[in-house]
């Protein structure tokens, strides 16, 4: 049986795809973004047990070399995360596909579907594939939120079972992408083209980070790609915000003037649906 490691589930969200959706955050990411707001979702827990001594609420135990988190005792002080040597979290839960679907189905009368996010959801691609297959069988609308740094053949397989993706394009420029994330943008752009051609994109997102990224180049190139495939597709330009970032001063927050300037660049390239958030 395939199991997934889940960092968190938000039963109802209005900002993760169309309508009111249940969002599942899978643990682990293949990027190391400088602007990551949830760095504890990047690494899998190695069950070393170091964090147990920092928990004053008896919420962590090690049983058979596995750290077990007791949600009911947890006060969310995050001392375990702060003291983890690998920046991970013991506050994850292992689910089988059926266990996760059963949990989500409790909310389904109030929601329009589910969104699988992360971390990076495609890191756990075997679990994700099985989950998406069963969700589709049950008629549940499933979106994925992805950085698209996944083997194209794997993404094609996944795309048979999800409705739409909400990809991040962090930087068009290969070197700047590597500087921000630790990985190049080649695979991301290749996969973006595949998804656009397959009409599998709900919206594209780019975080604007002044001084670090070539924001104008990224917005210009991505908006041209959007205009070719579907000018009405939403392009979300997201302001970098320092709050919650581990080393927040690595960059400045963008000004409203810069955001407007980028919006105009995208509009001039034929992109009709641009949202600044
Ligand atoms: S969260 Fe970190 S410190 Fe705690 S068991 Fe996992 S790897 Fe070790
Ligand atoms: S966040 Fe929860 S598990 Fe972690 S140290 Fe605090 S009480 Fe313990």
Q: What is the 66 CA–ligand 1 centroid distance (Å)?
A: 10
> What local confidence, expressed as pLDDT, does residue 4 receive?
98
Q: What is the 126 CA–ligand 2 centroid distance (Å)?
A: 30
Please name the CATH architecture into which domain 50-82 falls: 2-Layer Sandwich (3.30)
Regarding the beta carbon of 57 and ligand 2, being less than 6 Å apart is answered: yes
> What local confidence, expressed as pLDDT, does residue 246 receive?
83
Distance from CA of residue 273 to its chain's centroid? 22
Burial class of residue 33 in the structure, from the number of CB atoms within 10 Å of its CB (0-12 exposed, 13-18 middle, 19+ buried): buried
> What local confidence, expressed as pLDDT, does residue 36 receive?
96
Regarding the beta carbon of 155 and ligand 2, being less than 6 Å apart is answered: no
Name residues of the chain where pLDDT drops below 70: none
Tens digit of pLDDT for each residue in 69-96?
999 999 999 999 999 999 999 999 999 9
Q: Say whether the peptide bond before residue 119 is cis (omega within 30 degrees of 0).
A: yes
> What local confidence, expressed as pLDDT, does residue 221 receive?
98
Nearest ligand 1 atom, CA 46:
7
Q: Give dist(CA 176, CA 111) in Å, integer.
A: 38
Residue 192 CA neighbour count, 13 Å, CB half? 26
- The residue ranges of every structural domain in the chain are 1-42+92-167, 50-82, 169-277
Regarding the beta carbon of 123 and ligand 2, being less than 6 Å apart is answered: no
Regarding the beta carbon of 77 and ligand 2, being less than 6 Å apart is answered: yes
Regarding the beta carbon of 62 and ligand 1, being less than 6 Å apart is answered: no
Across 99-117, b (16+ Cβ under 10 Å) vs e yields ebbebbeebbeebbbbbbb
Q: Give dist(CA 67, CA 47) in Å, integer.
A: 5
pTM: 0.95
Joined together, the tokens standing for residue 218 give 């990224």
Q: What is the 125 CA–ligand 2 centroid distance (Å)?
A: 29
Domain 1-42+92-167 fold is TIM Barrel (3.20.20)
Regarding the beta carbon of 43 and ligand 2, being less than 6 Å apart is answered: no
Same fold, 1-42+92-167 and 50-82: no
Q: What is the 250 CA–ligand 1 centroid distance (Å)?
A: 26
CATH for 169-277 is 3.20.20.70
Q: Identify which of 8, 47, 59, 81 to mutate to test ligand 2's pocket (most ligand atoms within 8 A of the CB).
A: 59
3-class DSSP assignment, residue 67: strand
Tens digit of pLDDT for each residue in 166-198?
999 999 999 999 999 999 999 999 999 999 999
Q: Which residues contact 200 (CB under 8 A, 6 or more apart)?
A: 159, 162, 163, 164, 165
């Amino acid at each position: 049986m395939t199991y997934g490691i889940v960092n968190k589930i938000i039963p109802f969200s209005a900002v993760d795809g169309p309508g009111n959706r249940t969002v599942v955050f899978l643990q682990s990411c293949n990027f190391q973004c400088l602007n990551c707001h949830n760095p504890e979702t990047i690494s899998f827990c190695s069950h070393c047990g170091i964090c147990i001594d920092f928990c004053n609420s008896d919420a962590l135990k090690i049983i058979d070399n596995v750290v077990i988190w007791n949600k009911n005792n947890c006060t969310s002080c995050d001392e375990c995360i702060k003291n983890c040597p690998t920046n991970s979290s013991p506050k994850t839960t292992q689910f089988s596909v059926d266990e996760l679907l059963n949990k989500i189905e409790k909310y389904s009368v109030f929601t329009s579907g589910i969104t699988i996010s992360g971390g990076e959801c495609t890191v756990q691609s075997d679990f994700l594939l099985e989950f998406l297959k069963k969700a589709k069988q049950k008629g549940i609308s499933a979106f994925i939120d992805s950085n698209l740094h996944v083997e194209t053949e794997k993404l094609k397989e996944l795309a048979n079972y999800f409705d739409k993706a909400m990809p991040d394009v962090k930087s068009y420029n290969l070197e700047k992408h590597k500087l921000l994330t630790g990985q190049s943008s080649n695979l991301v752009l290749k996969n973006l083209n595949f998804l656009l051609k397959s009409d599998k994109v709900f919206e594209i997102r780019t975080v604007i980070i002044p001084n670090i990224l070539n924001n104008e180049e990224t917005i210009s190139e991505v908006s041209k790609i959007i205009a070719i495939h579907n000018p009405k597709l939403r392009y979300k330009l997201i302001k970098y915000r320092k709050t919650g970032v581990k080393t927040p001063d690595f960059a400045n927050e963008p000004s409203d003037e810069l955001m407007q300037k980028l919006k105009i660049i995208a509009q001039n390239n034929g992109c009709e649906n641009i949202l600044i958030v």
